[in-house]
Amino acid sequence: MWYAIGSLNRQNELKIRDAFRTEGKECFVPLRYDVVTVKERVKKGQKSPRGQSLEHKERRLVPAIPGLVFLKAYAPVEQMKDDFRFRKESVFLRKSTFTNKEDYLTVSDHDMENFIAFSEKAGEKITYFSPGEIQLRPGDKIRVNGGLYDGREGIIMRVKGKRKKQLVVSIPGILFASVEMEPDLVEVASGTSTEKSERPVQARLSSKEMESDKQQLLRLAKRVLFEIPSTYQQEKEYYLLLNELKLTASRLSAVKGFIPSQEAELALPLYLAAFKLQQDVEPAEQRLRKAIDRLQDTSLLKLRCQMFLSVLANDDELFSKVRERFDALKASKLSVKQRFLLEEFEFLKPKV
């Protein structure tokens, strides 16, 4: 177990760290590069340039978050508090601002070791965020296999102000760190000790976010199910797509449509995602079938849902009905939407 500690003297983080390390205790301060102004002492007999002071700028490693130091527990908490009273650094155990005031800010060994290893690997490319500056939606953790961050655990996500996707790791509730993620091989990290504590509370999606996620989930599911050849399913990008599929599906899983068409537009991509990921396939299929039953028989959305369901569920009876419906459409002049749907059906037929 690690504790977050503070000091009554500001800008003293590195001295505190070095003092504890000298005593053989494990102590960590998150660092980042910054440009600082260094003032030079004027030596005896030396004159500074007229109108200028003897100072220059340097790039130095400085504490990422003022006043934040982590110390690994070396004794029961009461004994540590007693020890702190006699230290010249004037340190104290920091209390949580989110729970009971007697609760101290603690971090599990697993979370701390993962964060330290990530920080040391990332170097100057790392960016730190406080909990209020970054919002994590529900999703599964990933583990990186290969590359600079081999073995590290985190979440792949887009961060505001960053052009490319970031690998985000955290000290839960205290500090987040992100770095640009190259498409290294990743896998879902199941069964980790932090899986439960790391999963944030699901935020309520706005209608705009829901529409965007719904369309994205359908595109992703169709791509990984039907468009990527098996020979490419060991490529790094494929695993990133699978993880993004999981994250998007998890955001939509609790959303319900208020009208039949809206519910069907949600149920279809969620069923495709569940089928690909082999997670909760039966409930997703039942939800889709119920949504289909509520749609009018002339609805193209109903035909599209039936088309995918008949193919993936190997429902021969339903597939025959779908084929009869398309045969009837071919007998008349097709609209743009009907022609697009027919092309999609012709593409799916060889997959049966």
60-98: per-residue pLDDT in tens? 777 877 788 899 999 998 999 999 988 888 888 887 654
pLDDT at 307: 93
Structure tokens at 111: 């979370």
Determine phi and psi for 201, rounding to 5 degrees: -70, 140
Distances 98 to 120, 173, 350 between C-alpha atoms, Å: 29, 9, 56
Indicate the angle between helix axes 300-312 and 336-348, nearest 10 degrees: 0
pLDDT given for residue 200 in this prediction: 36
User: For the domain with range 209-351, which CATH number is right: 3.40.50.300, 1.25.40.810, 3.90.1150.10, 3.40.50.620?
Assistant: 1.25.40.810
Tokens 């998007």 belong to which residue?
A: 248
- pLDDT at residue 329, as a whole number: 87
| Cβ atoms of 301 and 321 closer than 8 Å | no
Token duo for residue 60: 């130095």
Do residues 168 and 174 make contact, with C-beta atoms less than 8 angstroms apart? no
Query: Helix, strand, or coil here: 342?
Result: helix
Q: Which residue has the tokens 């209020």?
A: 132
65 is written with which tokens? 């978050």
Averaged over successive runs of 10 residues, the pLDDT of the chain (352 residues) comes to 81 88 90 74 56 65 81 91 88 67 77 79 63 54 56 61 61 64 49 39 54 86 82 64 83 83 93 92 94 92 93 91 90 87 80 46
Neighbours of 312 (CB within 10 A): 20
Tell me, what's the pLDDT at 270? 95
Q: Three-state DSSP class for 31?
A: strand
Place of tokens 């406080």: 130
- The one-letter amino acid code at 209 reads E
d(CA 309, CA 296): 17
Predicted pLDDT of residue 216:
87
Q: How far apart are CA 72 and CA 123, in angstroms?
A: 22
The full set of domain ranges for the chain reads: 2-41+56-107, 109-198, 209-351
Closest CA to 105 of 171, 196, 10: 171
Per-residue confidence (pLDDT) for residue 250, from 0 to 100: 85
The type of residue at 268 is L
Per-residue b/e over 14-24, b at no fewer than 16 CB within 10 Å? eebbebbeeee
Cα atoms in the Cβ-side hemisphere of radius 13 Å centred on 301: 18
Phi, psi of 285 (to 5 degrees): -65, -40
The answer to whether 32 and 177 are in contact (CB under 8 A) is: no
Nearest 5°: the CA angle 103, 107, 108 is: 120
Rounded to 5 degrees, what angle do the CA atoms 152, 156, 158 make?
Answer: 140
How many Å apart are CA 267 and CA 206, to the nearest integer? Answer: 18
How far apart are alpha carbons 276 and 279 in whole angstroms?
8
- DSSP for residue 304: H
Tokens 């071919």 -> residue: 330
